[in-house]
Amino acid sequence: MSQIIIYTIITLVAIGSAAAIILYFVAQKFKVYEDPRIDEVEESLPAANCGGCGFPGCRNFAETLVKSDSWEDLFCPVGGNETMARAASILGREAIEQAPRVAVVRCNGTPEFRPRVNQYDGSPTCAIAHSLYAGEGGCPHGCLGLADCVVVCAFDAIHMDPKTDLPVVVDDKCTACGACVEACPRDIIELRKKNKKDRKIFVSCINEEKGAPAKKNCSVACIGCSKCFNVCPYEAITMENNKAFIDSDKCKLCRKCVVVCPTNAILEINFPLRKEKIETAEAEASE
């Protein structure tokens, strides 16, 4: 009886060792060298796999970071400078700092400013509505309000405001991955430089029509009058296709443009009340 056990053990050990030797040589022959730093870098990334960096996932981005000589155009918007610095320290190199950005919805066509002239009952996606007509408000560049941007957001950072029918970005959650920018068929959403206290000044309209038809559909449309362009001391504003655009990298938040805009198309957000506005508010209160 014990003999059988011994033979069995010997046979199994022999087969096992033979297999181990064969496998060892096969593994040597077909070995694929992978830089161990890729794993380390991947672990330092946010693992959101959102595609905000322009690569299919965090793994691909980590590979590219390890292999690339130049890190220009390589940036993880979700992790920001902190993540990039961590990845850089693993690889023993310098990270290129980028100013943090945030998504901004450039349309202020609430039902109040842009009355609805028809009713859409087709498929509830912006992409299809955009391919069919100008929209319920009649503005061919305005927000369609069907929330394609909300659907694609992986960070729960954008939602629809039922009162205004417009998407609202939660600045603290937004990682500037750019998914909503891509999803919007009308290119309404833009990634702009993040300022202190989330202050923002931007032209909340991208209508390219001439003044009269733009104003006809929406009372807060940019009519391309160039008043803001003329008043800006920092050359941050450009006029093109009947609309103004404020470059967030050049803007110094002086708010001069906001005052001159005749249609209130330029919005200032998270600023303290102006002096004259405080005075009028106080006057109203005292009355």
Partner 1 sequence: MSLKTFSRGGVHPPEHKLSSGLTIEELPPPDVVVIPVSQHLGAPAKVLVKRGDQVLIGQLIAQSDGFVSTNIHSSVSGKVLKVDQFMDSSGYRKLAVQIEVEGDRWMEDIDRTDDLVKNTVLQTADIRKKILEAGIVGLGGATFPSHVKLMVPKGKTAEYLIINGVECEPYLTADHALMMERTDEVFAGILVLMKGLGVDKAIVGIENNKPDAIAKMKQVVQGSNVLVQGLKVKYPQGGEKQLVQALLKREVPSGGLPIDVGVVVFNVGTAFAAYEAVNKNRPLIDRVVTVTGKSVEKPSNFLVRIGTPVSYLVEKAGGVPGNTAKVINGGPMMGKAISTLDIPVVKGSSGILLIGENEARRKETQTCIRCTKCVTVCPMGMEPYLLMTLSEKSLFERMESEKVMDCIECGSCSYTCPSSRPLLDYIRLGKSEVGKIIRARKAV
CB of 125 to partner 1, least distance (A): 8
β-sheet bridge partners, residue 189: 105
Residues 15-74 that bind partner 1 (CB under 8 A): none
Nearer to partner 1 by Cβ, of 16 and 124: the residue is: 124
Nearer to partner 1 by Cβ, of 101 and 186: the residue is: 186
CB of 152 to partner 1, least distance (A): 10
CB of 124 to partner 1, least distance (A): 9
Segment interacting with partner 1 (CB under 8 A) among 49-57, 121-129, 153-161, 227-235 = 121-129
Q: Which residue has the tokens 């070995």?
A: 31
Residues 126-145 that bind partner 1 (CB under 8 A): 127-128, 131-134, 138, 140
| Alpha-carbon distance values, 185 to 43, 109, 218, 243 (Å) | 34, 16, 19, 19
Q: Which two tokens stand for residue 166?
A: 């417009």
According to DSSP, residue 194 is labeled -
CB of 170 to partner 1, least distance (A): 25
Beta strands 101-105; 237-240: pairing state: unpaired
Distance separating alpha carbons of residues 201 and 283, to the nearest angstrom: 27
Nearer to partner 1 by Cβ, of 118 and 226: the residue is: 118
Q: Which two tokens stand for residue 147?
A: 């929330």
CA 223 to the chain's CA centroid = 27
Nearer to partner 1 by Cβ, of 121 and 235: the residue is: 121
Beta strands 189-193; 101-105: pairing state: antiparallel
Rg (CA), the chain: 28
Range 202-215 burial, b when 16+ CB lie within 10 A, else e? bbbbbbebebeebb
Distance separating alpha carbons of residues 228 and 225, to the nearest angstrom: 8
CB of 132 to partner 1, least distance (A): 6
Q: Out of 209, 221, 229, 261, point to the residue binding partner 1 (CB under 8 A).
A: 209
Under rule CB under 8 A, how many of the chain's residues touch partner 1?
A: 15
CB of 209 to partner 1, least distance (A): 7
Segment interacting with partner 1 (CB under 8 A) among 29-37, 49-57, 116-124, 190-198 = 116-124
CB of 67 to partner 1, least distance (A): 25
Nearer to partner 1 by Cβ, of 42 and 165: the residue is: 165
**Angle separating helix axes 80-91 and 58-67, nearest 10 degrees:** 50
Nearer to partner 1 by Cβ, of 131 and 238: the residue is: 131
| Contact positions vs partner 1 (CB under 8 A) | 117-118, 121-123, 127-128, 131-134, 138, 140, 209, 213
